[in-house]
Amino acid sequence: MSAVHVKRAFRFRFRPTDAQAAELLRTFGCVRLVYNRALAARSEAWTARGERVGYGATSAMLTAWKRTEELSFLAEVSSVPLQQALRHLQTAFTNFWQRRAKHPRFKSKKRSRDSAEYTRSAFRYRDGRLTLAKMPEPLDIVWSRPLPGGATPSTVTVSRDAAGRWFVSMLCDDPGIRPLPVLDSAVGLDVGVTSLVTLSTGEKIPNPKHERADRERLARAQRALARKAQGSANWEKARRKVARVHARIADRRRDHLHKLTTRLVRENQAVVIEDLTVRSLLRNRKLSRAVADCSWSELRAILTYKCVWYGRELITVDRWFPSSKLCGACGTIRDTMPLTVRDWECGCGAVHDRDINAARNILAAGLAAAACGDGVRPQRSTPGGQSSMKQEVVPPPRSRAAARSRG
């Protein structure tokens, strides 16, 4: 099989020297300032004159800003991350105009992620040593895994998270990613809280509940933070401790999702999931914490790109498909199915495990839809209680997050 041309980001921790950390912090601040000023200028031009200001105009603005006494410090850092910030703003506006995203927002010093992107003209990579512009010494990178043989980064993104950890992300061509051998197997997934994923094979993947496991540690750190005077040195230390607990939870959750999705993609030619809406569930105060800990949106996002990488098919079933209430044996749909009901018996005598039955119904509906090139809309019950299957075209969502609890 021919290899797929894939650009893949490889992220590593690194330990900056004091001089490198100071230079990067200055760069982060300048990137944020340029982005916010350009956003304000573009928004004002549209509000006042109905004029769309593009990347070229904001680039000229940046040149003018550097010549002023007030913003002359912008010339002291590498110009490439500043230009990249303007390109990212242009992309954000393009997505907004095409209704793929909301209007761009201003970057906050406290809430936004510190990052700067360097293109090839602003870094040097030789023999495993990466040197950024305005820095005489290479970065001390912790090489947790090797880059693909002969790979040269096309862009490098340096960032610092809320816990104070420094990362460098290198975007490279990865020739090792190629379609896997074609299989005859397919699997349906029903996501939930008790079991993170239930497979149509009958297997249930337990939910590790990473946030619950560290909840006591997180509560202690948050109580310690609440006792400190905001803005003090001790408050900053306590804030870092809270951020480290959150980072530990997120890292463990992401690692588990990567292992699970890799296994599903390797073992199945087609994966069928539901198009769920997590955002509405997060408004439920009784479910929001558990739903957020499951991270169904990230599960779907990882599955999406891994299926593309390895030549698999990801089939999405409409969110209103009654997978839990539908009897997989006779097709009867129950009127109600509370979350407390985990096992139920149909009038035809079939006894169902709620989650396994839902996963099998999702698989059957997805395969039927894929066979005729359609998506799946809700089934409608006939007066006699039997269901009437109806297939309609459902275009795959572009940016809708996964969502709906299965308990």
Q: In whole angstroms, what is the distance from residue 243 CA to residue 152 CA?
A: 33
Q: What is the pLDDT of residue 374?
A: 55
Q: Which of 17, 6, 27 is nearest to 158 (CA)?
A: 27
Q: Which of 371, 273, 269 is nearest to 311 (CA)?
A: 269
Burial class of residue 180 in the structure, from the number of CB atoms within 10 Å of its CB (0-12 exposed, 13-18 middle, 19+ buried): middle
| C-alpha dist (Å) from residue 119 to 53, 67, 159 | 24, 24, 15
The single-letter DSSP state of residue 333 is B
pTM of the model: 0.82
- 264: number of Cβ within 10 Å: 22
CA–CA–CA angle 8, 10, 11 (5° rounding): 140
Q: What is the pLDDT of residue 332?
A: 80
Q: Give the DSSP H or E segment for 2.
A: none
390: three-class secondary structure by DSSP = coil
Q: What is the pLDDT of residue 320?
A: 82
**What does the mean pLDDT of the chain come to?**
87
And the tokens for 222? 């948050």
Q: What is the pLDDT of residue 4?
A: 54
* Radius of gyration, CA atoms only, the chain: 25
Who contacts 93 (Cβ-Cβ below 8 Å, separation ≥6)?
42, 104
The β-bridge partners of 124 are 131
92: three-class secondary structure by DSSP = helix
Known catalytic residues are 190, 274, 355
Q: Which stretches of the chain drop beneath a pLDDT of 50?
A: 1, 375-407
Q: Where are the beta strands (DSSP E) in 65-207?
A: 114-119, 123-126, 129-132, 140-142, 155-160, 166-173, 186-191, 195-199, 204-206
